[in-house]
Structure 1
């Protein structure tokens, strides 16, 4: 690695979109763009507006990523989108599909060879992490088109009944891949939310990056329900997932790997899951590393919403997004401009440092073995798809560019590059991750324990309902045979079947799912408590020393008087 460091550029995107209330053409319905005034067809293929067109547009963007400049917010972009969507016609859709692919599918460099790290232009993406790519055929479309843009290596992560929706595309060889389903993944009764059935998880690829070495890229999509105003215990599943993810990051960095975590974390920056990732996992946030904090009070016009994207990294529930434009202000985050839910986090490779304390005991800690500077981070793909007039997804993408310095690089050299910037454009800086505190762990433990007790109450209610059904089924069945009218007999029989099915569901949910959930909560809580005890040991040792010193004072005084 050169002393000036090597650059690496990543992008993360949640590819899906919520059911839209836009008026669709007959062609839209025939081609699986499947909402008509909010009425959706069942199945994962059928719950996203304009799925095929958006997937092809994302694929075209990646195919030409080495030649296109990033689509960043601009005040002079297209007019408000709520009216655009109503102007689509089937002929215009057909024209747009061909036009967009022709305009975006012309990479300017040879992608058939394994190019070196520095051979790509500064606008080239090197690694792409995708989430909510539920349909495998959609991944194949993106993978095949992305190869034209130089992404010769890819991995789709399979999971659970409906798939994880996670994928990674890379210009660099994939040495190995790993997949880790989270212990807590929602409840089977919450089938509308779907977290249990898709099996929320984290996938990672170990890449062999020239001049840097092994880089492990994680892509994940955390538990979705319950936003910040809800009590912390309702988000305990997401907190537990963040804890597991942080442990994976620690293990990877301590093996000497450069780590990047990309994905839809469904958490605002101030939330407990993000706090744990930064303190326990020692991850740095690329956005805060390259942007000043704080956003001035803005008016509720389109320019202000774009400013919020630029200043705070809003990626979801923005008025600028065509799929979330109809959301109320109450659902747009604390300031009403949307939420930052998508992140690119990073951690340098670590090495073990041993030293002795004042008492001669050997102390071991992990320190950074690299200096990673975030040159810039921005929200991209905010403008609508050309000609179509709707957004690429209900989330915007996040793009970040890093400079990785070798361990031999001096801090002074890195600081000089920080201040002067590369080509006068870099605003990045070296960021130190916050330390894990007992307050954070106590907060986490409290949320897990409250969730545990809530699960116990739910199990008690569900098993009680099962017992009620166990009594009702034979009673209704017997009553059916005494009905004078045949149609009443059929009604009672059907009612008996429904009650029986409900009772079995309550048994499964209360006994199996409930016990499963509590076991997972207990396991995560034990891990958190173990880490808490480790943090408390130095404090307890200090208190013991202080107590011993205080107890010795009277004896010293007595000896002094006795000598007199």
Structure 2
């Protein structure tokens, strides 16, 4: 779920109420939400769902915040879990690199984004449930936050790896803000050996795939090419069987065919958000990994919510909710060794990540140097204006210039001396972590191939 930003998000209160009502009527066992920035929204949802999801947890940024009930970060972490089963343990890791404070129009820095872990037990089966929210992608062609998202992906994969020892099943659900095949998505899946419920279910249901389309919201009719099989969709992608009679059971197709040619037709936020992005986007995931002696079957994967809030002209969120139903069984005959991903794919992903970090560090050095040059220039200008004796008639103007130069100098020094130093340390820490993981994987590859390490 998304669009929970106070003041900015349209119909936020009504959306949160509708989400709470929808969840309270459904039969979900675990629900992971993102962008629930306000505590009162979380409390409203958890109270309304208490009959069916009696256990819940909101992940705060600081321990002090958790004790006094305030939001973490500036707006809160935004991530929470509702569960039918008791939550036995929790843990939260906040991203060390998450956007820029001066990019107010983006706002990612103001939320304490990270990954939260809830450990639950169902009929003796230990399940680690992770929920997360990665940095948004604002411009796919020129993505200034790509390295931030890749570092977050690596942190996420490492947390899953290092905290899932002893778990029978690992489940990760959240807004990864990265498309299938992107570096961040590959690092998450490869380094933590997670499988995508969407892909597993699709492959099981449709063995012969003729077309790869999405099933979230169809684009306007002028983007469609009837008869060619090239139907333009946005946001959620799915592999499906396709025929000329368009015999696909999809509420979203029905919605667009009925409304796309009407002037002033109401739009959902998912429709609005999808138009800004490339076709066939999928950025929300439910990933899983069975543990030792455990088998997991993906029984269902779908988008469970209706297009619009009941009797209203807006949707629940700018993201389509996704639901996966898993059948978990203990099976001592399952070989975990056979389930491991190709180690070469894991090495390739981490190599790309480390190379991206090297490039980011080089660019960061250049930007930091430019801020120092700006600081030196502003300092000299400030000295020059201070030493200049201004006429009384222009005193007010000179004072205004002094204040402006001082504020700019403070900003550039803070960016060069503090902010970019912190970002450099965050990127360097991630890069070194990737290099250590690469070293471990290379040794593991040698052992697999030759049975020894030199």
Distance 1:273 1:406 in 2: 31
Q: Does 1:229 align with 2:141?
A: yes
The alpha-carbon deviation at position 397 of structure 1 amounts to 0.3
Distance 2:12 2:317 in 1: 9
CA pair 308-325 structure 1, distance change in 2 beyond 3 A = closer
2:238 paired residue number? 311
CA pair 254-321 structure 1, distance change in 2 beyond 3 A = farther
> Deviation string for 1:369-421 (max 9, x for gaps)?
3111111111232511111111101111010000111032668xxxxxxxxxx
Distance 2:450 2:300 in 1: 48
1:216 paired residue number? 128
Q: Does 1:195 align with 2:108?
A: yes
2:152 paired residue number? 241
Extract unaligned runs of 5+ from structure 2.
62-72, 204-208, 225-230, 241-249, 261-265
Distance 1:407 1:278 in 2: 23
> Deviation string for 1:280-329 (max 9, x for gaps)?
100010000101466357995579567985735999xx999622545685
Distance 1:394 1:49 in 2: 11
> Deviation string for 1:424-483 (max 9, x for gaps)?
xxxxxx97645344322221111111011111111111121112222222333444x513
- The partner residue of 1:158 within 60, 69, 86 is 60
CA pair 507-375 structure 1, distance change in 2 beyond 3 A = same
The alpha-carbon deviation at position 161 of structure 1 amounts to 2.5
Q: Does 1:261 align with 2:172?
A: yes
Distance 1:15 1:62 in 2: 15
Q: Does 1:470 align with 2:363?
A: no
Q: State whether residues 245 and 277 of structure 1, in contact with CA within 8 Å, keep that contact through their aligned partners in structure 2.
A: yes
Distance 1:306 1:270 in 2: 18
Q: State whether residues 378 and 405 of structure 2, in contact with CA within 8 Å, keep that contact through their aligned partners in structure 1.
A: yes
Distance 1:307 1:234 in 2: 22
Distance 1:410 1:470 in 2: 68
2:391 paired residue number? 483
Greater shift after overlay, 379-388 or 291-300?
A: 291-300
CA pair 472-386 structure 1, distance change in 2 beyond 3 A = same
Q: State whether residues 348 and 371 of structure 1, in contact with CA within 8 Å, keep that contact through their aligned partners in structure 2.
A: yes
**Mapping for residues 311-460 of structure 1, pairs under 5 Å:** 311=238, 322-326=268-272, 329=275, 331-333=276-278, 336=279, 338-349=280-291, 368-408=292-332, 433-435=341-343, 436-460=345-369
1:559 paired residue number? none
> Deviation string for 1:145-195 (max 9, x for gaps)?
0113x1111111122222111111011001111010112112222232222
Greater shift after overlay, 460-469 or 129-138?
A: 460-469
Q: Give the number of aligned pairs.
A: 402
CA pair 218-153 structure 1, distance change in 2 beyond 3 A = same
CA pair 454-387 structure 1, distance change in 2 beyond 3 A = same
Distance 1:135 1:126 in 2: 23
CA pair 389-59 structure 1, distance change in 2 beyond 3 A = same
Q: State whether residues 213 and 232 of structure 2, in contact with CA within 8 Å, keep that contact through their aligned partners in structure 1.
A: no
Q: Does 1:56 align with 2:1?
A: no
CA-atom RMSD in angstroms: 3.3
TM-score, normalisation: structure 1: 0.65
Distance 1:180 1:324 in 2: 29
Q: State whether residues 284 and 431 of structure 1, in contact with CA within 8 Å, keep that contact through their aligned partners in structure 2.
A: no
CA pair 229-151 structure 1, distance change in 2 beyond 3 A = same
